[in-house]
Amino acid sequence: MTMRVVPAVDIRGGKCVNLVQGDYARETVFAEDPLEQAEKWWRGLLDAGVPPEQAVVHVVDLDGARDGQCRVVDIVKRMSESGIRVELGGGIRTLESVRDVVDAGVVRVVLGTAAYRDPALLRRAAELWPDRIVVGLDARNGRIALQGWLEETDADPISFARQAEKLGAVRIIYTDILSDGMMSGPNHEMTRAVAESVGIPVTMSGGVSSLEDLRAARRLAAVGVDEVIVGRALYLSRFSIAQAQEALNTDN
């Protein structure tokens, strides 16, 4: 299986930022213009040899995730118009909101809080927009977190992943919150457990800090992990998109 790196653009207050463990008080601003940053990442993907029809930039509306209303529709529309394939999450909680972002050109819509709280919404969205609805499964200490990671539940990721697949999700994005932004490596074990529990592809997210992390992620291809989201490490120039892509597809 060919694996792909997915560069992240997290937006808060109209700027590209990165949070540590989802903490809004621990924010680093990396770029002023999300469109310009997304275009940079997109060029990097194409230059690295990722086929345009498979390449994607992961965009998160952090304000929307916390407040429940997606506010970056205009930004992602401009990204889409410039040829970027966008995967968007954060504050998408209604069918109308899903329709708005699809109309803006988003190729993958990530439902997190809404998918957990309103299974009927997830099912209906998957019926209306097949092949576009992705579920964001964010966990802290083995339990699902909601509302921009501010609210914890007692739900376990495995059960939620299986339910999401049954309701029509075409992909799971598993984010380990305690790893996110820490530059200390992702949670390979939990990612593997989630991937082994479903038959749809899984994206690993949170904590990638080195090419060795990506080489280790390569071992998860056998259980259905085919993408790895990278944010802070790319911003800090720990490695390039091309180097990341090579690491994901070089046999260990």
Q: With H, G, I as helix, E, B as strand and everything else as coil, classify residue 229.
A: strand
138 is catalytic: yes
Tokens 């924010």 sit on residue: 27
Residues whose CB is less than 8 angstroms from the CB of residue 210 and which lie 6 or more positions away in sequence, other chains included: 185, 233, 238, 239
> Which of 10, 176, 213, 226 is the catalytic position?
10
Residues whose CB is less than 8 angstroms from the CB of residue 189 and which lie 6 or more positions away in sequence, other chains included: none
- The closest alpha carbon to 47, from 250, 240, 209, belongs to 240
- The closest alpha carbon to 7, from 238, 209, 233, 231, belongs to 231
Q: How many whole angstroms separate alpha carbon 76 and alpha carbon 88?
A: 8
> Which of 61, 63, 138, 180 is the catalytic position?
138
47 is catalytic: no
Point out the residues that are catalytic: 10, 138
